[in-house]
Amino acid sequence: MLAVRVIPCLDVAAGRVVKGTRFVDLVDEGDPPELAERYAAAGADELVFLDITAAPEGRGTLLDIVERTARKAFVPLTVGGGVRSVREMRDVLRAGADKVSLNTAAVATPDLVRRCARRFGSQAVVVAIDARRRSGPPGGAPGWEVVVKGGREGTGLDAVAWAARAAALGAGELLVTSIDRDGTQSGYDTALLRAIADRVPVPVVASGGAAGPADFVAAVRDGGASAVLAASIFHRRQHSIAAVKAAMAAAGLPVRPVPGVAA
């Protein structure tokens, strides 16, 4: 049975892993490949690097980090942040990434999703969707708007409709972040996850708001997520990956045992 993936997300800026409430109050956390190796050894099922600077002049640094990580951590690596073309995606894959996540560029040019999927296969194309809750009609269901540029800019797009379109264009996976919950440790937006998971045939990765093991369980059970991503609770060592997996297993979810730790 396919295990629910637990995925630490590493924010990378100028070649270093940083932490902070996303994009502000950044604190240097260390060398990305070293941290990646540590997380892999601790039982991470995959790793995500998010290049939060995503400046064109920093691409060389990012590619070097990706390659050094791929040579140290033998678990899958997804890289996101600033990829705007088939050629840029090719460079990141060549450096050692298994998947590339497209966000702002996919919203601006949806056909990029189709072209990348055709060139590299759907399995390599993740579309990252940052969503913000908006109030629906009185008495109606809530809705979510797609936001870009780290949540600073609205798009008017409905997040669930965009998710369905991205999957139809060839995205092999959707990384769904609740911008309202991100960095708040108030739990995933399970209604958002469920709305999207019910509309698409591809796996949905939950992101934004995890505070503890119960949130991971809820993202899968209530939200229908296939994988759970978190940053701060792992970086701050509030919960180990092993503890999160143990809680998920206790709740009856299939997880991959942490190597070296009895299931």
Partner 1 sequence: MTRIAVVDYGAGNLVSIDQALRVAGASVVIARRPADLEGADGLVVPGVGAAAPAMARLARRGLVGPIRAWIAADRPFLGICLGMQLLFDGSDEDGAVTFGILAGRSELLRDAPRLPHIGWNAVRRTRDHPVFDGIAPDAPFYFVHSYAPRPSGASAPAITLAVTDHGADFVSAVARGRLVGVQFHPERSGRDGLRLLARFVSLVAAWPLDAAAVAAGAAAGPPGRAEAPAPRSEP
Beta bridge mates, 78: 48, 99
Tell me if residue 11 is catalytic: yes
Instruction: Please report how close the Cβ of residue 39 comes to partner 1 at its closest, in angstroms.
Output: 10
Cβ 23 to partner 1 shortest distance, Å: 28
Q: Where are the alpha helices (DSSP H) in the chain?
A: 32-41, 59-70, 86-95, 104-108, 111-120, 159-169, 190-197, 213-221, 232-235, 241-250
Q: Which of 124, 128, 131, 211 binds partner 1 (CB under 8 A)?
A: 124
Q: Which of 31, 34, 67, 158 binds partner 1 (CB under 8 A)?
A: 67
- Give the span between the Cα atoms of 167 and 28, in whole angstroms: 35
Which x/- pattern, by CB under 8 A, does the window 25-44 give for partner 1? ------------x--xx---
Q: How far apart are CA 225 and CA 193, in angstroms?
A: 7
Question: What is the nearest approach in angstroms of partner 1 to the Cβ of residue 159?
Answer: 19
DSSP code of residue 56: G
**Interface with partner 1 (CB under 8 A), residue from 96, 143, 213, 223:** 96
Nearest CA to 67 out of 59, 42, 44, 41 is that of: 59
d(CA 36, CA 17): 10
Determine the interface stretch with partner 1 among 20-28, 51-59, 73-81, 209-217 (rule: CB under 8 A): 73-81
Separation of alpha carbons 169 and 167, rounded Å: 5
Decide: is 2 part of the binding site for partner 1 (CB under 8 A): yes
Q: Is 85 in the site for partner 1 (CB under 8 A)?
A: no
Shortest reach from residue 33's CB to partner 1, in Å: 12
Which of 95, 163, 166, 244 is the binder for partner 1 (CB under 8 A)?
95
C-alpha 114: how far from its chain's center?
A: 20
DSSP state of 122: G
**Cα–Cα distance measured from residue 141 to residue 128, given in angstroms and rounded to the nearest whole number:** 23
Examine residue 73 and tell whether it contacts partner 1 (CB under 8 A): yes
User: Which of the following is catalytic: 130, 182, 189, 215?
Assistant: 130
Restricting to residues 186-245, which ones interact with partner 1 according to CB under 8 A?
201-203, 226-227
Specify the residue, 106 or 124, whose C-beta has the smaller distance to partner 1: 124
DSSP code at position 2: P
Q: How far apart are CA 77 and CA 61, in angstroms?
A: 16
Which one among 27, 28, 60, 71 touches partner 1, defined by CB under 8 A? Answer: 71
Residues that bind partner 1 in the complex, under the rule CB under 8 A: 1-5, 37, 40-41, 45-46, 67, 70-76, 93-99, 120-124, 172-173, 201-203, 226-227, 256, 259
